[in-house]
Structure 1
Amino acid sequence: MSTATVSAFGQLTTGDGVRLYTLTNARGLRAAISNYGGTLTSLLVPDRSGTLGNVVLGFEALSDYQSPPYLQANPYFGALIGRYGNRIAHGRFALDGRQYQLAQNNGPSHLHGGRQGFDKVVWAAETGSGPDGATLTLTYHSRAGEEGYPGNLDVTVVYTLTDDNALRIAYSAVSDQATPLNLTNHAYFNLNHDAGTDILGHELTLRAGRYTVVDDTLIPTGELRAVADTPFDFRTPHPIGARLSQVPGGYDHNWVLDAAPGPVAATVYEPVSGRTLHVVTDQPGVQFYTGNFLDGTLTGRHGVRYGKHAGFCLETQHFPDSPNQPAFPSTILRPGHTYQTTTEYRFGVQGQLRG
């Protein structure tokens, strides 16, 4: 039987109390989510021998998410991202004849909603159950002008840990004024995380024939380049590390998902544990990031140091800098319309136990 429980997770420096919500499905999988930033702090799934292990980077205590080293590195472990996931060039965009200036918190760019994005607010939370499993519903009211964005925005995010071993994240939002919106989750996965190894041996498949070319500040140039004959071609499985040295700085790019044959955006297989991950989404893109900026200064559960390539992200999304790129799919939410998108991270195993 699926269950949802709640426990104290600590206090913010403001004195506000924060809670941790643990969803367990009928097969014993467990997802722990804090209402601080809607942060997925751990996700326990079985390996090929049936042993549960954590597959996301995170911490056991709220204080770790508030520590100076974490805030300085700001890796967004497991957090909900908004209003705009990814980058907006120079933190500026024009909408309906008006210019807007956002925080420039990533070099010259605006990144992941600004200095106080959705990853750093306390969400209202309510546990429940649905036909597919235990749920956690998070809501947040983002006031007009927050981080420079127009419109009062009401956001709802529902986490469901399904009884068929998927973590579903369903996002919805309404606004009283036109505003850019691009919500995602910034989980770092490592399907053999408990071993303290990097993710370079994970085998990745991405259903994408093109990617968005970026400049040296990771802002798209507007070109959607074919992946054929490049280290960005994951249309057939490749170890993440096999061609990484051919990509200056590592992978941190948006792939343009193919319209066919279906909603599976990515598949990952970790050969030692046998764990598999299938990412299913209705979004047009996915940001594949290989933890290039992790440097070992942060330590997670069981004393594991989070060094370079300790985890990978598959952030389902619209494209970076879309408010300034008219040829990209629009990210503008207008009054009277509802923003809705859903992504599932489906877990399984492959192969027999190695002797």
Structure 2
Amino acid sequence: MIVTTEEFGLTREKEPVKRFRIENSHGTSFSLLSFGAIISSVQMTPKSGAQPVELTLGYTSVEEYENNLPYFGATVGRVANRIAGGRFELHGAPYQLECNAPGNHIHGGYIGFGRRMWDAELQAASEEAGVRLRRVSPDGEDRYPGKVEVELTVTLNESNELRFEYRATADRATPINLTNHCYWNLAGSTSENIREHEVRLFSDAYLPVNERQVPTGELKPVKGTAFDFTSTRRVGERMEALDGGIDHCYQVRGEQGELRPAAQVVDPASGRRMEIHTTTAGLQFYTGNLLAGEHERGNGGRTLPAHAALCLEAQGFPDAVNRPEFPSIILEPGAEYRQTTLHRFRQAPTR
């Protein structure tokens, strides 16, 4: 394993940001920042002597990441996804969070975990290496109740597995629902879009949403709908049927808390494959519908089109704090939040 650390830049508050890079013997690597616990790069090397291919979208400066509206590579918290109206009630007490999306709270608020500094240290062994990150979220941060101590360990091994291990404890009851927000394009981050990607989801049901992208509370079978990815489907075909793309949470088959298959993604042209396993109840599938615009500049500084990449965010159900029928995301004092998500990368023969 090759492990390097370098200074990436300074935040507005003049805090130094470190970038850690881990590479295995196959030429697969990831880079991670101490700001936002952001995955700034994931690369694969197609064959010996070839140039590595960047698989994620990202920026080249701290300043850009401080204004990271798409949440490129960010660790999202305290609560990923949307909370309707930014409101919830917990043990009889009402809470009003920031509404940083139209009518809703999203991804922890205006700052959240993805725009704050983390304490980070390398962890290296012969067969795997990674970074352990920690931060303390004080009571009232982003208007959430309770102090939360969070730990995230991200590792890469010689089997081309990128593993995320989340842990958290709280001194008061509080909602917590963590995820990583990488944008993937297995054809390479400079490829035009992900329409030719093929996706399979290990899910038989999804969560319909209202006009503000908040779940209605229904858990609807995918069979017979354009949301059906139970067998491998071309993403572009499904996006066309859904008039603009996908941004929905799917219920992952199996028992929450057990590491089990959630998704497979293949780029047929290159043969690159990504398999995702997770312990979470849900998987948010987002096809980059809102990426288009001058202010969204990916690796290399290009202006991004819509659908330049896709996200598969392992998490609890959106708005679970207001939906008792959904699996709870409340962390009580004395309990521990645990979440594991694994990405396995493969290079298959091209068709």
TM-score (norm 2): 0.95
Q: In the alignment, residue 237 of structure 1 is paired with which amino acid?
A: T
- Deviation by residue 1:268-323 (Cα, 9 ceiling, x = unmatched): 11011110000010111100000101114223223433210011000000000000
Choose 191-200 or 282-291, whichever is displaced more: 191-200
Task: Report the CA distance between 1:35 and its aligned residue.
Answer: 0.7
Retained in 2: the 8 A contact 1:48–1:275? no
Which of 274, 295, 302 is equivalent to 1:304? 302
For residues 165-180 of structure 1, the aligned pairs below 5 Å read 165-180=160-175
* Corresponding residue for residue 36 of structure 1: 35
Question: Structure 1 residue runs of 4+, over 6 Å off?
Answer: none
Aligned equivalent of 1:274: 271
Counterpart position of 1:7 = 6
List runs of 5+ in structure 1 lacking aligned partners.
none
2:334 alignment counterpart? 336
- Label 1:223 to 1:151 Cα distance change in 2 as closer, same or farther (>3 A): same
**What is the identity, as a one-letter code, of the residue corresponding to 2:16?**
G
- Higher alpha-carbon deviation: 255-264 or 110-119: 255-264
The counterpart of 1:322, out of the listed 295, 308, 320, is 320
Distance 2:28 2:97 in 1: 40
Count of paired positions: 347
- Report the aligned-residue RMSD: 1.7
Confirm or deny that 1:52 pairs with 2:66: no
C-alpha distance in 2 between matches for 1:249 and 1:325 = 27
Distance 2:83 2:190 in 1: 37
Percent identical across equivalent pairs?
39
Q: For 2:44 and 2:310, how far apart are their aligned partners in 1?
A: 17
For 2:197, the equivalent position in structure 1 comes to 202
Change (3 A) 1:170 1:130: farther
Q: Which residue of 2 aligns with 1:215?
A: 210
Residues 1:184 and 2:179 aligned together: yes
Distance 1:47 1:276 in 2: 12
Q: Which residue of 1 aligns with 2:77?
A: 82
Match of 2:111 in 1: 116
Determine the C-alpha separation between the residues in 1 that align with 2:308 and 2:189: 11
> Match of 1:213, SS?
coil
**Mapping of residues 92-241 of structure 1, within 5 Å:** 92-130=87-125, 132-241=127-236
Q: Distance in 1 between matches of 2:300 and 2:113?
A: 28
SS of equivalent residue, structure 1 residue 221: coil
| DSSP-derived class of the 1:242 partner | helix
- Following the alignment from structure 2 to structure 1, what is the Cα–Cα distance between the partners of residues 94 and 60? 42
Distance 1:195 1:11, change over 3 A: closer
Distance in 1, matches of 2:326 and 2:208, equals 13
Q: CA deviation at 1:195?
A: 4.5
Structure 2 partner of 1:63? 63
Aligned amino acid, residue 53 of structure 2? G
Between 1:210-219 and 1:193-202, the stretch displaced more is 193-202
Preserved contact between residue 33 and residue 41 of structure 1 (Cα < 8 Å): yes
For the residue of structure 1 that corresponds to 2:304, the secondary structure is coil
Unaligned runs of 5+ in 2: none
Asked if 1 retains the 8 angstrom alpha-carbon contact of 2:185 and 2:191, the reply is no
- Does the 8 Å CA contact 2:57/2:189 hold for their aligned counterparts? no
Question: Counterpart of 1:54 in structure 2: which amino acid?
Answer: E
